[in-house]
Amino acid sequence: MMSRSSWGSAAVPFCGVRDPAALVAPLPLEAVFTHAERMRSGRGRTVQHWAGRLAAKYAVVRLLGEDEDPSAGRLCEVEILPRPSAICDRTAACLHGHPPGVRLHGVLRDRVRPGTRVGVSISHDAGVALAVALVSASLPEDEDEGNG
The answer to whether the beta carbons of residues 148 and 138 sit under 8 Å apart is yes
DSSP 39-54: HHHTTT--HHHHHHHH
β-strand pairing of 78-82 with 100-104: antiparallel
Backbone angles phi, psi at 31, to 5 degrees: -80, -15
Return per-residue pLDDT of the chain as tens, 148 residues.
554 447 899 999 999 999 999 999 999 999 999 999 998 887 767 899 999 999 999 999 999 987 666 556 789 999 999 887 666 666 555 556 678 999 999 888 888 888 889 999 999 988 999 999 999 888 776 665 544 4
Q: How far apart are CA 74 and CA 102, in angstroms?
A: 14
Q: How far apart are CA 55 and CA 120, in angstroms?
A: 10
Q: How far apart are CA 64 and CA 2, in angstroms?
A: 7
User: pTM for the full model?
Assistant: 0.84
